[in-house]
Structure 1
């Protein structure tokens, strides 16, 4: 586990925020009206009278005037270089502008009416319609820094860049190759990053195949060391195991309209060989002591991933925080097994909301209604991280909370606050655990990293549907203000 590098030397607070609501989101559900920060760490949370003695001559005091402080948001699946190169465009924005996403009537169960757009964007959303988005070092730096400015304005203080590496060196966008990771290293050495960054290495094609031999070679040559792991960390590896259900690519026990069950993206001969290669990739990552994030949407794919993780853990027990990305068709039985293995689930509720009609179009309404079981996963004890997959969606976690709540179904009035706390923790506490960093970030307990988001209203006094209208007023990373409205 990596920790922040600054010490906790004695002295007055450097920053105090007072006169509002502070939600620590820690296990004790600590709340207060003020928070003090010193040397990049939380010094104390409590009532103003307790914090007042920590104010010195040089302490910057921010009057909250009723506003709320929560831990900094951790978007645990965000393609920042691609986001910075595309913004203000998003994949779904382009799709919605281009054509209707309605499932065609007539009962044939085919793909969406905008299938051409979907094939270009959702099946392989990283393929642009025109020239490369980024083609040189200057472009890569500008894209990363532009994304940093945007996410700072949204209260995001950490994110995971899920897939950078040599598998995409010749990629169509220029946003995912090894050179992008090199640009991150350079920017971090210049102290130019506005958020903490976790990276998953990629040894295949984004949204495409990976070959076992190349994967194992890349894994052996992976350079993980960074200057300040609390700011830039190569956490592990990403594998694209399958595609998505609307394009009949997810490997599933259900039957698609063409009579198929989908398959795997991993290279190999027949499906059995591909499944064996995927299992060997997973075991190899585990043996090397690396975290694994697997893009897996079909129920059979997810089950196979769990089988491989279980076998790897039996061979070499280790707490590596492996997780399933998207998990569209994950089953209750699979969730129980994931909990037992300590596996996480990383979900984008906005994608669920937007693509459920497409899933219904190819697998039926009953399957679509059971897909993306966010609430069931949380109640089953699986650590569920909510994320944006930006720029597939906009990187607005407030919209993500609202979408997740709507997808889960309305909470009873007596459960409303508990629901909001669950969703806030899915953007803060749980992603910190995914990062292996829960000992030093993700909550506002004393000695934790002073990564803060200030909202203009207390989220516990709002319905999740109201949260997208609540402004982000201030963002603090490592005790430094990086955004102020």
Structure 2
């Protein structure tokens, strides 16, 4: 006689996908060789071979024949400006150029337009297999920004859409108390940190995780805060306010310490090695005061060094980077810094070897939100792999498993083990049988979030609201 738990475990599934490789990416290779997955009540109910999983089919179960197509955990773009993307798409800042240009002027002037932009982005991301993303910077620092895509009102639109059940993906938000790509000051930062409310009705759909700080700019614009000398003699400063370099550095450290003391995660836009040093010193001090891993991370990290990567691994500091930017701007970094530091930029292979928690992301609409392109770019940047299949699996983890860790959600999403969130995507071919260079040509066939099909290429588009 089955127990109540046995009844629950063997209750009919809502949705079964069978007949193709299911890559769970679960620890220890759990689920390796699976060909089917069953979903029930928004969770993975069972993973295994077709006969094991079809045992959960009931009269109301929807069964999808994969016909050899491959299943992956849902893609998590851990650095993506979705509201801005929804306003600008199909345009991006890079376009087809080697460097970003000025964005199109399509300001979101009212809440209705902001809402529609979020929904439009949600439909686009669903078509790409993206089931989670991070909006890296919304808040009072941009309440009067010219785009209308980053202020407090955008955060309120996310709250409303989450409450109405209209989000197409799970969303993590970092608060922004300065200007996007611009200055911030300690006083307004501390006031914002104390005042903003991060409560939501369901943190699995919308979570306000912490804060974003712009430490510096980017190397091609001679605004990365670096120990190197720029070829033209430019000496950049931190974007954080202060009377001189020493005060600005101290203020950046105070910002990081204040967030850590408040239990908030910090994502620091830091491309220069000097700005990364300041961040790591602050995190090390914070961990001495209160030794808890809040998942702080470096955003971009263009000029991060080998010793810094080893410090990051020891401190639990992650790296969130965009390999396609590395490929596109290599010549511009050479022009700015000369061949020495430029040749050592974006050390992805060294980050893997050091054990740094590494997330790949798009920074859309700076680039396209197509994660397949970022994986191909990462592989091209790192050079030939001894084991291409292992390289592909590792890069896929940078868009699934590692972002779940960054989201403080590794216990419930990012893999397809039983009990995990029923978030997945279906590709027309098995990525582990391909090279990363081939991945951008592989179609996303289906996307499932919380057990619901939100994109099915073979069916009619499933949109939320007219846009």
Question: Is TM > 0.5 for Structure 1 vs Structure 2?
Answer: yes
Select 1:143's aligned residue among 96, 117, 135. Answer: 117
Q: How many residues align?
A: 448
Query: Any conservation in 1 of the 2:88–2:104 contact (CA below 8 Å)?
Result: no
Residue of structure 2 equivalent to 1:277 = 251
SS at match of 2:369: coil
Select 2:328's aligned residue among 345, 348, 354. Answer: 354
TM-score when scaled to structure 2? Answer: 0.94
Query: Any conservation in 2 of the 1:9–1:39 contact (CA below 8 Å)?
Result: no
Residue of structure 1 equivalent to 2:146 = 172
Distance apart, 1:392 and its partner CA: 0.2
SS at match of 2:61: strand
Residue of structure 2 equivalent to 1:396 = 370
Structure 1 unaligned runs (5+)?
Answer: 1-7, 102-113, 122-127
Is 1:221 the equivalent of 2:192?
A: no
Alignment partners' CA distance in 2, 1:484 and 1:456: 12
SS at match of 1:74: strand
Is 1:448 the equivalent of 2:430?
A: no
Is 1:317 the equivalent of 2:319?
A: no
Residue of structure 2 equivalent to 1:428 = 400
Distance apart, 1:9 and its partner CA: 7.1
**Superposed CA offset, 1:120-178 (max 9, x none):** 64xxxxxx454x52000110001000000000000000000000000000101000000
Residue of structure 1 equivalent to 2:433 = 461
Distance apart, 1:49 and its partner CA: 1.5
TM-score when scaled to structure 1? Answer: 0.91
Alpha-carbon spacing, 1:223–1:9, altered in 2? closer, same or farther (3 Å): farther
Alignment partners' CA distance in 2, 1:242 and 1:272: 15
Select 1:478's aligned residue among 440, 450, 454. Answer: 450
Query: Any conservation in 2 of the 1:82–1:391 contact (CA below 8 Å)?
Result: yes
Residue of structure 1 equivalent to 2:156 = 182
Query: Any conservation in 1 of the 2:231–2:335 contact (CA below 8 Å)?
Result: no
Residue of structure 2 equivalent to 1:334 = 308
SS at match of 1:267: coil
Written as runs of structure 1 = structure 2, the 5 A alignment for 1:108-127 is 121=102
Residue of structure 2 equivalent to 1:109 = none
Select 2:70's aligned residue among 62, 68, 71. Answer: 68
Alignment partners' CA distance in 1, 2:54 and 2:272: 54
SS at match of 1:88: coil
Alignment partners' CA distance in 2, 1:190 and 1:10: 31
Residue of structure 2 equivalent to 1:208 = 182
Alignment partners' CA distance in 2, 1:129 and 1:191: 31
Alignment partners' CA distance in 2, 1:466 and 1:369: 26
Is 1:13 the equivalent of 2:13?
A: yes
Alignment partners' CA distance in 1, 2:346 and 2:38: 39
Alignment partners' CA distance in 1, 2:11 and 2:336: 63
Residue of structure 2 equivalent to 1:409 = 383
Distance apart, 1:317 and its partner CA: 1.2
Query: Any conservation in 2 of the 1:282–1:308 contact (CA below 8 Å)?
Result: yes
Distance apart, 1:260 and its partner CA: 3.7
SS at match of 2:308: helix
Distance apart, 1:365 and its partner CA: 2.1
Runs of 4+ residues deviating >3 angstroms = none
Alignment partners' CA distance in 2, 1:365 and 1:180: 42
Structure 2 unaligned runs (5+)?
Answer: 1-7, 458-467
